[in-house]
Structure 1
């Protein structure tokens, strides 16, 4: 069958149309495949993202669960009490700290009204507190918690309101409330219940401390105000801020007058107030305390010696410092110390009575033997001038020795209230050795003295140093004679060695007293200088000797120490020496009263030119002997036996000089001196007395009353020295006659 061309063309066109449809369908399939592949790729990406998000969510949930557990543990284990309190004033959740305060288990606390655990006195405070917090404001108050066992605890409560949240389906419990900011949710109730988180902090100890501080402040204020000793506070620049009544009484100044004065204004002139300087500079930290002895000035010419305790403490604002000054009047204390020292000296005088009696009896025995021997020789052999001169010289030497013993006894019996002055150390050492020498020899104790201080002086009172040396020497004797001392010596000769020498610095000197007896323990050594401490039995020691000795040495500016050595126990005194350049005044006086060679060196001037000297003494023999001596050296002398007789002679025949005793019948020497000083004429007065002054102040007053003071037994040469200085007319007349 033959097809036509037209048919073929039509078939070809149909095939072309069908091919185009297929191509279009293939293109559509190709687009769908591409879209499907893209969708699959997007889906895979989303799956990865979802997987990553799920991991993040899982990690976040684990973290949240860990944080919840951590905060729950902190909540439960906190040292303070935590409670979640609902708006109905019920405790929804409580930790163990709150349960301890309430003295109950946690289960017994939850769902209970909070007022059950609060002291009735604090109910009103707690109600106001919760009203404020549940109104949306934080609050802080102090209340008293009362546990079930009755224990009361002061607490500081701090509360803050909790934010409300939507309650999730299924409700929740107390644990869920804590996990969602402690908001209380009740099952079946769609409303959010307001609540607060309340902290109970036990402040009992703080309250006790505050009460104790308040009590301390009251006590300190009472102490400050009513204290028997003076107290004042100073600003950092040293100005007085507050004073108590004791300070005002001491100084005679009112609180208003003292306020604003400086600390330096209250000190005596020329006082270096190092404590005030330290306060102003703020150098020492708060808590610095130092003790000083200061002379304070009050109203007018009032002066008083005080013991000042100066303390630096923080100022009220806490940024600076201020001073606290405690002032103790030392007048009574000094008097008591003087009494103790005087009692100890009298005790020492009693203990040394045997030695002193020997030192007195020996010179008297020699004097008696010399005098009786001379009288017998004159009767049998006639007068031998040379032998008589030697005998009189020996008697004079023994009188000097006797005078030294009496002077020492008078010094011990006298209170030490006078001024200190330079004295030679060697003389004190010699006097102390003399007083104990017989006792040491009787007890077979060797006393060795190596004195290299000839001419070197110290500043103080010589008899005080003598007392110190005698105390230590007697203690050494007691130790050597004790049972322990005899056991240690074991036949060795007991020995005490005194070594005195200048130190290398040239400004100090040292006296070491070493004995070969027993050493002492560290405890005894540390307490040896404490008052009333003694290792002797009650009838052998008072325990005051070394304590007073230390006070004497300290007063001289020195130190006194004790140490155990290989040879035994050693005491060392270190004293500052006095330079000769400091003694100008004494050199001037010495130049005025040069020693006379003797009565034979002076020639009597004519009768009309001889100065009149009046000798007054109820011991007529002594008065006549002095008069004869003065007549021989150029004076015209009249003798009176009492003050009344002497004044009558002076009125009719004025005397240029009067030599008088003090204790006499009818009118004594004091009465006579008062009348002589009241007259218009200048009279040179010399007192010669055997009366022992009760204190050094009394002795100084006697010296001020007269131009010269001599103690019995008096030396004719000493009388001559003072008359030559005070009444130079006789010497001028003698030279004119020559």
Structure 2
């Protein structure tokens, strides 16, 4: 209950002005004011309108003036008039009122706000604290007043004031009634403010939701929300990205329908156990028409319609991937360019042996000095050197192609060995020895073998250049050495390439894997090698790093071991006896625009007992085949009139089960044709071809199906 503060001369004045009828009338007015003020509170919808209504009700209750002031903040603590009503409203004009502890804050309003208690001035003429306002109060006929605090404690808002033309009009009972008005006003203001705040929050929430909805709908990236694997929401970009429509919507579909089989394993794992936080991954996704595209997917957990869900932001990176592949191919070709001189040397060696052996044998045959054993040795030597040449060409073919092979499990040790063999011949002329320590068992990793070979070639080339260029600055008895080691380390494969050269300056180590950074002189390095290599190894979920080494430079590759991978299956061996199973009833069509190659091949097949026809173009071959269908067709790909691919298409249309052997030396076509055509009735062989292998393959194709 509030304590009433009364001015020092208030009691006498109240006594002189009090009688039974007057007291009853004051109580009736106060009670009526409380009732009407309560009704106004219940109907109020606006704070300022409520304040004005309370002041108007106070004026109609025979008060000379009713007004409400709000307490301002420190340091000024001014009291601002918010509403007023009555005959003496002009009394408030130019009156400084505050609730500060100063001259203008010692009046009834300031005391009520500071103390939280009602303050009564029974007679303005005799109350000392009212001295600053007495003259003006007299002018407007004000003789008594009461100031009522509005709000409690730290939530005190201000004060409600009533002024009367008669002294002693505010006794304890009247003040008690009016305090009810002030308390109700306080609650009403709090309710209206809470309602206004709620409406503002609801408005801001609606605006925020609309903004975010607009952002989501207008976002260039596809945004998908799924719950327990079922799509709940997709924005316009997602509908466009996945090729959906009103008759083929995304919502309701399993999210795995949008994931390519290559990435489905990872997606299933994350569906079963969603990781915390924001996770960025690379996936191969599917549009509704079945076409695949590369994408970055940012995923996080959210609440959607009150239920747990996952939000996916999908960005199509197909174009970026194409650019990266172009960059990768550029780096590969740059490496090939640096290797060109060594490759020429590698090819010239077996070709030189072939020529020497052939011309030497011809000379001795002409002079009748070449017995059967000598001829056999020479031709075996030629065949051996041809195989060596074929291996070199095959390595170049694999490395130079644009890699579109699928991700698969391969032997990392075999890829390391292949890279060493390609470059080994280039190290020897510079007096550089390569030592390798590779395990006898496979090291299965998942990725693309040609990409690991490219990384190895780049690191070996860098070591080669560093050793060769530093030779003059090394001691006389120094010789360059490169050490390559591959081994299993727990659940990882570790490949380390170390040289005994001068090493790398500390200032360069932090920039090694940045694009276009090179330690080589102008015109010799692209600055792409280590950057591309780092990207390739990272894409295989591994790491490429520079290690501390007491001498030279040491690079380490770490790749996750594929523990679930089955070992590579050996190719079935063809029995040599099958090469003797030729039959004159079997017709073989040989197609090659190189007449010498076609005739040599035909001679070999006839010797095996087959009937052989020869054509020099695809058009001529189709004509011969139409007139006399063959049991097996052996064809080149690149020919001047009607190429081999067109011929194969016609033959497949004629007989889908017709055995076809494609022989080609074209680098790009080999992989393309192998991917598109090779099956159990079509084989692709790379030039130079081993006659024995070809003969066995023809024999297998001619065997009746089991």
Q: 2:352 matched to 1:365?
A: yes
Q: Which residue of 1 aligns with 2:485?
A: 499
Alignment partner of 1:172 is 2:129 = yes
- Could you tell me how far apart the structure 2 residues matched to 1:478 and 1:673 are? 46
Match of 1:292 in 2: 281
Match of 1:251 in 2: 242
**Residue 639 of structure 1 corresponds to which residue in structure 2?**
614
Partner of 1:671: 646
SS at match of 1:667: coil
Q: 1:170 to 1:519 in 2, by over 3 A?
A: farther
Change (3 A) 1:467 1:523: same
Say whether residues 1:308 and 2:297 are aligned partners: yes
Cα distance in 2 for residues equivalent to 1:530 and 1:674 = 47
Secondary structure of the equivalent of 2:574? coil
Corresponding position of 1:510: 494
Q: Per-residue displacement from partner, 1:301-360 (whole Å, max 9, x unpaired)?
A: 45544321101245677xx65432101223323322222211211111112111111112
- String of CA shifts for 1:64-94, please: whole Å, max 9, x gaps: xxxxxxxxxxxxxxxxxxxxx9978797986
Preserved CA contact (<8 Å) 1:171 1:188: no
1:115-130 equivalences in 2 (<5 Å): none
Question: Does the 8 Å CA contact 2:578/2:696 hold for their aligned counterparts?
Answer: no
Q: Is the 8 A contact 1:415 1:695 kept in 2?
A: no
Task: Name 1:582's counterpart in structure 2.
Answer: 566
Give the conservation status (yes or no) of the 8 Å contact 2:119–2:148. no
* Post-superposition offset of 1:528: 3.7
Is 1:508–1:576's contact at 8 Å kept on the other side of the alignment?
Answer: yes
Contact conserved, 2:121 with 2:146, CA < 8 A, in 1? no
List aligned pairs for 1:588-607, cutoff 5 A.
590-591=571-572, 593-594=573-574, 596=576, 602=580, 607=584
> Aligned residue for 2:217?
225
Contact 2:411–2:444 under 8 Å retained in 1: yes
Q: Say if 1:259 and 1:456 are closer, same or farther in 2 by CA, change over 3 A.
A: closer
2: CA distance between counterparts of 1:407 and 1:691? Answer: 11
CA RMSD after TM alignment: 4.7
Deviates more, 1:392-401 or 1:439-448: 439-448
Partner of 2:605: helix, strand, or coil?
A: helix
Q: Post-superposition shift, 1:243?
A: 2.1
Counterparts of 1:349-498 in structure 2, within 5 Å, are: 349-380=336-367, 382-420=369-407, 425=412, 427-453=414-440, 460-481=447-468, 492-498=478-484
C-alpha separation between the residues in 2 aligned to 1:273 and 1:172?
Answer: 82
Residues 358 and 718 of structure 1, relative CA distance in 2, 3 Å threshold: same
Deviations 1:166-191 (A, max 9, x none): 44753315999999967879999846
Question: Would the aligned equivalents of 1:612 and 1:635 in 2 still touch at CA under 8 Å?
Answer: yes
CA contact (8 A) 1:377 1:383 kept: yes
C-alpha deviation, 1:468, in angstroms: 1.6
Partners in 1 of 2:334 and 2:361 — Cα distance? 40
Single out whichever of 485-494 and 699-708 deviates more from structure 2: 485-494
With over 3 angstroms needed to count, the CA separation of the structure-2 counterparts of 1:654 and 1:352, relative to structure 1, is: same
Give the drift of 1:467.
Answer: 1.7
Secondary structure, in 3 states, of the residue corresponding to 2:217?
helix
Question: What's the offset of the Cα at 1:683?
Answer: 2.5
Please name the residue that 1:96 is paired with.
74
For residue 417 of structure 1, report the CA deviation from its aligned partner.
Answer: 0.7
Query: 525-534 or 388-397: which moved more?
Result: 525-534
Give me the TM-score of the superposition, normalised by structure 1. Answer: 0.65
Give per-residue Cα distances to partners, 1:500-547, cap 9 Å, x unaligned. Answer: 33x264x65432211223555788556544444444455333333233
Question: Is it true that 1:540 corresponds to 2:532 in the alignment?
Answer: no
Asked if the contact 2:146–2:163 (Cα under 8 Å) also holds between the matched residues in 1, the reply is: no
> Residues 274-314 of structure 1: CA distance to partner in whole angstroms, max 9, x if unpaired?
444456xxx84xxx111233444543545544321101245
Q: Deviations over 1:14-44 (max 9, x none)?
A: xxxxxxxxxxxxxxxxxxxxxxxxxxxxxxx
1:214 and 1:540 mapped to 2: Cα distance?
62
Residue 560 of structure 1 is matched in structure 2 by: 544
Distance 1:372 1:275 in 2: 67
Kindly provide the CA deviation profile for residues 408-452 of structure 1, in whole angstroms up to 9, marking residues without a partner as x.
Answer: 222233111123556555553343223333443343333222233
Q: Which moved more, 1:618-627 or 1:561-570?
A: 561-570
Sort the Cα spacing of 1:697 and 1:311 in 2 relative to 1 into closer, same or farther, 3 A: farther
1:628 aligns with 2:628: no
Secondary structure of the residue aligned to 2:486 is: strand
CA distance in 2 between counterparts of 1:653 and 1:726 reads: 19
Shift in Å, 1:697: 4.4
Quote the residue 1:712 is aligned against: 687
Structure 2 vs 1, CA of residues 304 and 548 (structure 1 numbering), >3 Å: closer, same or farther? same
Contact 1:164 1:183 in 2 (8 A): no
Give distance in 1, aligned partners of 2:213 and 2:348.
Answer: 65
- Please say if residues 305 and 331 of structure 1, whose CA atoms lie closer than 8 Å, have aligned partners that are also in contact: yes
Q: 1:516 to 1:667 in 2, by over 3 A?
A: same
Paired residues of 2:518 and 2:527 also in contact (CA < 8 A): yes
Q: Distance in 2 between matches of 1:228 and 1:180?
A: 61
Listed as ranges, the matches of 1:57-206 within 5 Å are: 96-97=74-75, 99=76, 114=80, 163=118, 165-167=120-122, 170-172=127-129, 190=167
Gapped regions of structure 1 (runs ≥ 5): 1-84, 100-105, 116-125, 136-158, 202-208, 733-738
1:598 & 1:456 partners in 2: Cα distance?
Answer: 35
- Local SS of the residue matching 1:273: helix
Provide the rounded CA distance (Å) in 2 between the counterparts of 1:479 and 1:677: 54
- How does 1:683-694 map onto structure 2 within 5 Å? 683-693=658-668
SS in 1 for 2:128: coil
| Change in CA separation of 1:684 and 1:371 when aligned onto 2, cut-off 3 Å | same
Shift in alpha-carbon separation, 1:365–1:343, aligned structure 2, 3 A? same
CA gap 1:603/1:461 in 2 versus in 1, 3 angstroms:
same
- Specify whether residues 580 and 254 from structure 1 end up closer, same or farther in structure 2 by C-alpha distance, changes over 3 A only: closer
Are the equivalent residues in 2 in contact too, given 1:162–1:183 (CA < 8 A)? no
Residue pair 1:172, 1:187 contacting (<8 A) in 2 also? no
Give the distance between the partners of 2:484 and 2:220, measured in 1 at CA.
Answer: 47
